[in-house]
C-alpha cells in the first residue's frame, strides 16, 4: 500500500456540553477501504460531518496528504478531494441527469451566454462512461431508481478527481443486486487508488468490502483491525462493549395469557414481507432492527393507517382488517407514534385537549363532553403518570419531551386497550422520565395487555421484552428468547446475519 492519505489527530467535538466525539485518532492510506461501524449515537455521523466540512472540530487536526487542513465549508472539502455521499441524496429531482451531474461545474456556453445543451450532455455522457455507467443523460433525476441515483452521486464525486469517497449508509434503500453493482463499482475505484470510508450498520457488507474496520463506541475509537484477521463476533462485541448496567423494572407476573394479536404471513411491499407472530396478554414483545427495517411500517399497518396486501391478522381472536385508526382505537388497539411532534399533537392545544381526545368519546353525552368529569379524569391521569404541568390548560408545547410522551400514553389508557403498540417510546426523553415510562410499560403488561415495543435502544428492548423479534429488510430475521436475548444476537440479526 502507498502512503498515508488522511490522518485524524485527536479530533474532538461536543454539542451542548455532550461529547459526541472524544479525541479520536484515525489513519487512512491511499487506496484503502475503511469500514466504520458503531451503534446509533456512537459518533459516526459527527465524524463524517467533520471530514466533509459540515462541522468543525473543537480540537485536534486533520492531516490531508501530510498537510494540516481546516475545512471551513463542504465546498472546501470537496475542492481538496474529499467527496461525501450522504444518506439522503441532495439532488434536484426535476432536473435531468446531465444537469445534476454538472451542477457546480462551469457549463459549456455559447458566446451569447446561452447553455450549449448538446455539449453539456456530451460531457455528462463521457463522465458517466468513465465510471462504466450507461444512464441516459436526458432522464429526470426523479425517474431513476435509488441505485442509479447512488451511481450518479458517485460519478459526480469522482468527476472532481476526489481521492477520498465517504459513503454513509449507501445501501439503506438498495436491493441485493443493486448492492452487488455498487460493490463492483467501489472495487473498481479501489483499484484506481481512491480511498473509501464506508459507514454502515450492515456488518456483512463491511466484512465483504473493506480492508480495515474501525469501531466507534460512545464517541471513542475502541478498536481497529484488518478485516482479514477479524471475525464478526469480535466486531459485535466491540460495538456493544458495555455490559447492561441499566436496571429495568419487572414486577409483572411471568405467565402469559391468551393471544391478543396474531399475524400470519402479513406483507406489504416494499415495507415488510411475510410477518408472522403472536402477542399474548401480559407479554411485551420487542421489535428490534435498524431504522428502515420496516418496523414502523408494520406497526402502522396493524393500526389501520394503510392496508396490508396479503396475509391475515387477528385481534382478540377475530379477523382484523382495520380501515382506519379510528376503528383500531374502538376495537382496543392503540398506537403511540414515533414522532411525537408531527404525529402526536397539535402543539398549541392544551394538555387537557391533547389527552382527552383519546377517551372523551367514552364520556360524551349527546355529543357534549362533561367538563368537570373530563377535567377530573385528565387530572387523575396526570397524577397517575406523574405528568409535570402547572395546569392542564397549558399548551402541550411547553412540556418537556418526557412529559409529552407520558401525555401520549395517558391519552389511551383510560380506554383500557387490549393491545398497545409503542413506537420508540423513550426517544428524546431524559433518563428520569425514561425510567417512569419503563415502569408504566411493565405495569401495563402486568394488567394483562399485550404490548408491542418497537425500539432502537438496545438495552431498552432487551431489558423490557419477554421476547424479541428482529427485523431485517422487511422480514423477521430472528426471534430471540431467554438466554439468546443478547445485544450481540440482536445486532447480528438486525444486520442480516443469523447466528444460529
Partner 1 sequence: MRYSILLLILFAEIGLFTVIGGQRVDSMSEIGRYLTLYFSDILAQSAPVLLLAFGMTLVLMTAGIDLSVASMVALIACVMSSFDPGIGFWWTAVPVGLVLGLLLGLTNGLLIARLDIPPIIATLGTMILYRGLCFVVMGDLEKAPFLDVPGYEWFGQFLGAVFVIAMIYLAAGSYLNGSRWLREILMIGGNRVAARYAGVPVTRRLCEVYAVAGFMAFLAALCFTARNSSVSGSSLTGLELHVIVAVVLGGTRVQGGAGTWIGSFLGVLILSVLDEGLRGASVWGEKHLPFKISHIEFLVLGVLLAAGVWMNTRFQDRNP
- The residues, ordered by sequence, that sit 6+ positions from 468 with a Cβ below 8 Å of its Cβ are 285, 286, 287, 288, 461, 462, 479, 480, 481, 485, 490
User: Contact, 36 vs 199, CB < 8 A?
Assistant: yes
Stretch that binds partner 1, among 45-53, 210-218, 251-259, 361-369 (CB under 8 A): 361-369
| Range list of H helices, 24-130 | 44-51, 74-80, 97-102, 117-130
Among 298, 328, 419, 421, interactor with partner 1 by CB under 8 A: 328
Q: What is the CA radius of gyration of the chain?
A: 26
Among 204, 211, 220, 361, interactor with partner 1 by CB under 8 A: 361
Smallest gap, in angstroms, from Cβ of residue 209 to partner 1?
39
Strands (E) in 269-383, as ranges, are 272-280, 284-289, 310-315, 318-319, 333-336
Please report whether residue 4 would count as binding partner 1 according to CB under 8 A: no
**CA-CA distances (angstroms) from residue 250 to 387, 440, 441?**
22, 11, 10
Stretch that binds partner 1, among 28-36, 209-217, 229-237, 321-329 (CB under 8 A): 321-329
Smallest gap, in angstroms, from Cβ of residue 284 to partner 1?
22
Among 56, 242, 349, 388, interactor with partner 1 by CB under 8 A: 349
Among 16, 106, 177, 367, interactor with partner 1 by CB under 8 A: 367
- The residues, ordered by sequence, that sit 6+ positions from 456 with a Cβ below 8 Å of its Cβ are 40, 288, 290, 291, 424, 427
Binding to partner 1 in span 387-406, by CB under 8 A: 395
Please report whether residue 307 would count as binding partner 1 according to CB under 8 A: no
Please report whether residue 41 would count as binding partner 1 according to CB under 8 A: no
Q: How far apart are CA 246 and CA 193, in angstroms?
A: 46
Among 411, 434, 449, 473, interactor with partner 1 by CB under 8 A: 411
**CA-CA distances (angstroms) from residue 343 to 51, 206, 332, 335, 352?**
34, 35, 20, 11, 17
Stretch that binds partner 1, among 325-333, 399-407, 476-484, 491-499 (CB under 8 A): 325-333
Q: How far apart are CA 293 and CA 490, in angstroms?
A: 13
| Residue with smaller CB distance to partner 1, 273 or 345 | 345
Please report whether residue 70 would count as binding partner 1 according to CB under 8 A: no
- Within 10 Å of residue 178's Cβ, how many Cβ atoms? 17
Binding to partner 1 in span 248-267, by CB under 8 A: none
Please report whether residue 343 would count as binding partner 1 according to CB under 8 A: yes
**CA-CA distances (angstroms) from residue 326 to 102, 197, 305, 322, 372?**
49, 47, 9, 9, 25
Among 70, 253, 326, 380, interactor with partner 1 by CB under 8 A: 326
Decide: residue 177, CB within 10 A, 0-12 exposed, 13-18 middle, 19+ buried.
Answer: exposed
Please report whether residue 297 would count as binding partner 1 according to CB under 8 A: no
Among 189, 194, 329, 410, interactor with partner 1 by CB under 8 A: 329
Among 348, 383, 391, 500, interactor with partner 1 by CB under 8 A: 348
Query: Cα angle at 152 between 98 and 83, to 5 degrees?
Result: 110
- The partner residues of 96 in beta bridges, in order of sequence, read 140
Please report whether residue 368 would count as binding partner 1 according to CB under 8 A: yes
Q: How far apart are CA 93 and CA 148, in angstroms?
A: 13
Stretch that binds partner 1, among 75-83, 103-111, 345-353, 379-387 (CB under 8 A): 345-353
| Residue with smaller CB distance to partner 1, 172 or 305 | 305
Helix (H) or strand (E) holding 420: strand 419-423
Smallest gap, in angstroms, from Cβ of residue 389 to partner 1?
17
| Residue with smaller CB distance to partner 1, 360 or 456 | 360
Stretch that binds partner 1, among 28-36, 236-244, 332-340, 437-445 (CB under 8 A): 332-340
* Positions that interact with partner 1 (CB under 8 A): 305, 324-326, 328-330, 334-335, 337, 342-349, 353, 356-358, 360-361, 364, 367-369, 371, 395, 411
Amino acid at each position: 500500500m502507498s502512503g498515508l492519505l488522511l490522518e485524524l489527530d485527536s479530533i474532538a467535538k461536543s454539542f451542548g456540553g455532550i461529547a459526541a466525539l472524544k479525541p479520536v485518532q484515525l489513519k487512512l492510506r491511499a487506496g484503502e477501504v475503511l469500514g466504520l461501524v458503531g451503534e446509533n449515537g456512537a459518533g459516526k455521523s459527527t465524524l463524517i460531518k467533520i471530514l466533509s466540512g459540515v462541522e468543525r472540530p473543537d480540537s485536534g487536526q486533520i492531516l490531508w496528504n501530510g498537510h494540516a487542513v481546516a475545512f471551513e465549508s463542504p465546498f472546501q472539502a470537496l475542492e481538496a478531494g474529499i467527496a461525501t455521499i450522504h444518506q439522503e441524496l441532495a439532488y434536484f429531482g426535476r432536473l435531468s441527469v446531465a444537469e445534476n451531474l454538472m451542477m457546480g461545474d462551469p457549463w459549456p456556453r455559447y458566446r451569447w451566454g446561452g447553455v450549449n445543451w448538446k455539449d453539456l450532455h456530451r460531457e455528462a455522457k463521457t463522465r458517466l462512461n468513465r465510471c462504466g455507467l450507461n444512464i441516459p443523460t436526458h432522464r429526470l433525476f426523479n425517474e431513476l431508481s435509488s441505485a442509479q441515483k447512488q451511481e450518479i452521486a458517485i460519478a459526480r464525486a469522482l468527476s472532481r478527481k476526489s481521492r477520498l469517497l465517504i459513503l454513509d449508509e449507501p445501501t439503506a434503500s438498495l436491493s441485493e443486486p443493486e448492492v452487488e453493482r455498487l460493490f463492483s463499482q467501489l472495487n473498481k475505484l479501489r483499484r484506481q487508488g481512491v480511498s473509501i470510508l464506508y459507514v454502515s450498520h450492515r456488518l456483512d457488507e463491511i466484512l465483504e468490502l473493506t480492508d480495515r474496520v474501525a469501531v466507534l463506541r460512545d464517541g471513542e475509537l475502541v478498536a481497529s483491525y484488518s478485516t482479514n484477521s477479524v471475525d464478526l463476533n469480535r466486531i459485535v462485541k466491540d460495538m456493544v462493549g458495555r455490559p447492561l448496567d441499566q436496571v429495568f423494572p419487572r414486577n409483572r407476573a411471568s405467565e402469559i395469557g391468551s393471544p391478543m394479536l396474531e399475524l400470519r404471513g402479513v406483507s406489504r411491499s416494499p415495507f415488510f414481507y411475510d410477518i408472522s407472530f403472536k402477542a399474548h396478554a401480559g407479554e411485551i414483545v420487542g421489535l428490534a432492527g435498524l431504522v428502515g427495517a420496516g418496523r414502523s411500517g408494520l406497526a402502522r399497518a396493524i393500526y389501520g393507517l394503510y392496508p396490508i396486501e396479503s396475509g391475515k391478522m387477528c385481534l382478540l381472536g377475530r379477523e382484523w382488517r382495520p380501515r382506519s385508526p379510528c376503528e383500531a382505537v374502538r376495537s382496543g388497539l392503540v398506537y403511540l407514534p414515533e414522532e411525537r411532534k408531527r404525529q402526536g399533537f397539535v402543539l398549541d392545544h392544551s394538555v387537557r385537549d391533547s389527552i382527552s381526545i383519546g377517551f372523551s368519546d367514552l364520556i360524551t353525552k349527546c355529543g357534549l363532553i362533561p367538563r368537570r368529569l373530563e377535567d377530573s379524569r385528565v387530572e387523575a391521569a396526570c397524577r397517575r403518570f406523574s405528568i409535570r404541568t402547572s395546569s392542564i390548560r397549558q399548551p402541550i408545547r411547553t412540556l418537556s419531551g418526557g412529559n409529552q410522551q407520558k401525555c401520549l400514553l395517558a391519552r389511551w389508557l383510560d380506554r383500557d386497550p387490549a393491545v398497545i403498540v409503542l413506537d420508540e417510546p423513550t426517544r428524546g426523553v431524559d433518563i428520569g422520565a425514561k425510567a417512569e415510562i419503563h415502569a408504566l410499560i411493565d405495569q401495563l403488561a402486568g394488567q394483562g395487555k399485550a404490548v408491542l415495543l418497537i425500539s432502537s435502544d438496545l438495552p431498552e428492548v432487551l431489558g423490557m421484552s419477554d421476547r424479541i423479534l428482529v427485523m431485517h429488510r422487511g422480514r423477521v430475521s430472528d426471534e430471540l428468547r431467554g438466554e439468546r436475548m443478547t445485544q450481540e444476537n440482536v445486532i447480528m440479526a438486525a444486520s442480516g446475519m443469523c447466528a444460529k
